[in-house]
A and B are shown apart, each in its own frame.
Chain A
Amino acid sequence: MSAPSRNRSGERLDALRAEGRAALIGYLPVGFPDVAGSVAAAVAMVEAGVDVIELGIAYSDPVMDGPVIQDAVERALAGGVRVRDVFGAVEGIAATGAPVLVMSYFNPILRYGVDRFARDLAAAGGAGIITPDLIPDEAGEWIAASDAHDLDRVFLVAPSSTPERLTSTAAASRGFVYAASTMGVTGERTSLGDRAADLVADTRAAGAERVCVGLGVSTGQQAEQVAAYADGVIVGSAFVGPLVRASGPAQGLEAVAAVAADLSAGVRRAVRVPR
């Protein structure tokens, strides 16, 4: 069996930048509505214009997530999803050619074994991990494992991050830096904080090659706005909500594809602010 192709997020972002646009990054938790259903939904999202998939590992205590994602991961856990299910899901989605990042709180990875997780993720064709509750200061083991297995490590910055922390976080990250648009948790918002554009500029000035913006982006219009200045637009709850509300599997796939098409059009409409 040949090793699955490894598509990395940084290369994809650079290729899209050369095309003159930002990436659309879509989040779903693995295991909702079930493992196969989440893979099918992610594939549908890629086919409808999502460039990079962020695949969440369901966790019992998701402190960075708002009600929509909390609800979905609670259902995924109730449905019996296991941490190890993520590897097959990654493999299935990576077959589309889209880079697949795993989004996970730290404890499931710690429990699995940080190096073992990195090894299995790389073997499955995963691009790397986004770590919402792991700051570089605490990430020694993960930094070593991601170096050993050549994985992206996406750390977060927030509007409250000091210049010193923007610099250290940018230096520790690989692939891109995830800029939280506002102070808060995941979920759709009617308007984005005005600090997002400044945060992207400050993070670049602190040395980050690529900065993607998440938290609160849900409409094509918001995606267009963010795509003007960021390297990528990260959308979560706006995909998860329709999937939760869908009356059946087919309706769920249609719903996420429609959301992806709207957001994708927004990203492609954006007039890029020169860097």
Chain B
Amino acid sequence: MDHPDRSIADSLATLEGPYFGDFGGRFVPEALIAALDELDTEYQKAKVDPGFTGELARLHRTYTGRPSIITEVPRFAKHAGGARVILKREDLNHTGSHKINNVLGQALLTKRIGKTRVIAETGAGQHGVATATAAALFDLDCVIYMGEEDTRRQALNVARMRLLGAEVIPVTTGSRTLKDAINEALRDWVTNVETTNYVFGTVAGPHPFPAMVRDLQRIIGEEARAQVLDLVGRLPDAVAACVGGGSNAIGIFHAFLDDASVRLIGLEAGGDGVETGRHAATITAGAPGVLHGARSFLLQDEDGQTIESHSISAGLDYPGVGPEHSWLASIHRAEYRPITDAQAMDAFKVMCRTEGIIPAIESSHALAGAMQLGRELGPDAVILVNLSGRGDKDVETAARWFGMLDDDPAANVAEIPGEEK
């Protein structure tokens, strides 16, 4: 125990929903309440059932590849003010991101409830791929909703899902991105709830999803906290993670919530810059409201219409955020900052060149945050970064950004910032 004098009641890590302060709840059609109640009841039973937790732990050991390692990145750290930078390598998980942690748990729960079909939304495609993977493993029918715009940006992930036997339905309504994919998945769920479980991909949505998905992602921080203590001999000064809906960030933050000395920094997608209005920095620039079943911060106009978000990263291109993040921001336990597309891509490139690791563009926002933090905190600081996903899916986007494709007009290859060639 690090805080023997701290009672459970003082802990920030015990909220089970539906509410996190003023945030959370279940703002959904009545037709879904029975399914949400069922899911909540079954999950409460499952999470204390050794049959369930043991099977999930076995799958993580033998299928996901857990525990994921940590990697210290000294050459990258030169670009972060010389601070010690340690990556939690969720990119090495089976299917390439942290999403598998959540999906295996929810797929097991689906089997336990006795449903035969799963649906999911996906933005970058990582959650869709993870869900399709679990559906193949557990012999479940699987339908993935993906904004038409995202199916173009992430065509390879669409093919991966189809290879795994899932049906991918491009969503052509609204902004044709993640938020519209969620709308369409909710419509499917209302219609097919008797046979279907909605495997929600992040810590947003109606209760019990924010608490359940968080619990399934907590393993990231639990492992990383022990690993950093083992490597460094003390806790990190800061933990950085990207925040779209916020599942990888909650997953790594949670183990540190009661460690008051550890700063928790969520990096939101700043797109073209928050001042341009073309971004996805929900907590930085949004206001509280209700979207997709929960009260939380969201990007909205003065009429409460959702504002389209913008980010080079499909996985962060979401105008909402999980309610627990809104709460952590409101009590000032976690800080949220925007990282622009350009800053994220600079960090992406530095990581590729200095460490031989191609990060997901989502995770590159966290890396850019670490570069800022390292410069602020100086060389004595230890910064833990959640490298939530690998960048294989982003190779084309990155190659285009850096002008590395043969059909690009000029090979406009940017140098690594601050490094002589």
Q: Which one of B1-9, B58-66, B287-295 is at the interface?
A: B287-295
Chain B contact residues: over half helix, strand or loop, or mixed?
Answer: mixed
A 147-163 to B, binary, CB cutoff 8 A, 1 in contact else 0: 00000000111111110
Q: In the assembly, what is the distance between CA of A165 and CA of B292, in Å? A: 21
Most buried by A among B34, B173, B290, B302: B290
Contacts of B187 in A (CB 8 A): 63-64, 66, 184-185
> Which residue of B173, B174, B190, B304 is within 8 Å of A107 (Cβ)?
B304
B33 touches A160 (CB 8 A): yes
| Interface flag for B27 (CB, 8 Å) | yes
A19 within 8 A of B: no
What residues of chain A lie closer than 8 Å to B29, measured between beta carbons?
63-64, 132-133, 156, 158, 180
Docked-complex contact A107 and B30, CB < 8 angstroms: no
Smallest beta-carbon distance A159→chain B, Å: 8
Please report which residues of chain A, range 154-191, place their CB below 8 angstroms from some CB of chain B when the two chains form the complex.
155-162, 165, 169, 180, 183-185
Q: Is A70 an interface residue (CB 8 A)?
A: yes
Residue B412 CB within 8 A of the other chain: no
- A63 adjacent to B290 (CB under 8 Å): no
**At the interface, yes or no: B186 with Cβ under 8 Å from chain A?**
yes
Contact call A108/B34, Cβ cutoff below 8 A: no
Kindly state the separation between the CA atoms of A109 and B303 in the bound complex, as whole angstroms: 8
- For this complex, into which size category does the number of interface residues on chain B fall? 35 or more
Pairwise interchain contact B30-A111, C-beta atoms closer than 8 A: no
Give 1 or 0 for each of B168-196: 1 = CB within 8 Å of chain A CB. Answer: 00000110000110010011001111100
- Please indicate the chain B residues that have their CB under 8 angstroms from the CB of A138 in the complex: 25-27
Look across to chain B and name the residue whose beta carbon is closest to the beta carbon of A158: B31
Total number of A-B contacts with CB less than 8 angstroms?
Answer: 113
Query: Given the complex of chains A and B, what is the CA–CA distance between A137 and B304 in angstroms?
Result: 21
Shortest Cβ gap from B293 to chain A (Å): 8
Whole-angstrom CA separation of A158 from B31 in the bound complex: 5
Type the 1/0 row for A8-52, where 1 means its CB is closer than 8 Å to any CB of B. 000000000000000000000000000000000000000000000
Contacts of A67 in B (CB 8 A): 173
Report whether B33 and A61 are in contact in the complex, using a CB–CB cutoff of 8 Å. Answer: no
Supposing A83-B304, A107-B289, A135-B28 touch, asked if A60 and B33 sit within 8 A by C-beta, the answer is no
CB of B116 within 8 A of chain A? no
Looking at B29, B35, B180, B187, the one whose CB has the most chain A CB atoms below 10 A away is B29
Contacts A64-B190, A156-B29; is A74 near B34 (CB within 8 Å)?
Answer: no
The residue that A184 contacts in the complex, of B33, B191, B290, B304, with Cβ under 8 A, is: B191
In this assembly, does A95 line the interface, its C-beta being within 8 Å of a C-beta of chain B?
no
> CB < 8 Å: which of A70, A83, A162, A185 contacts B34?
A162
Name which residue of chain B comes closest to A165, CB basis.
B33
Q: With contacts A74-B174, A108-B305, A183-B194 known, is A160 near B35, CB below 8 A?
A: yes
Cα–Cα, bound, A183→B37 (Å): 16
Binding site for A on B (CB under 8 A): 25-35, 37, 173-174, 179-180, 183, 186-187, 190-194, 289-293, 300, 302-306
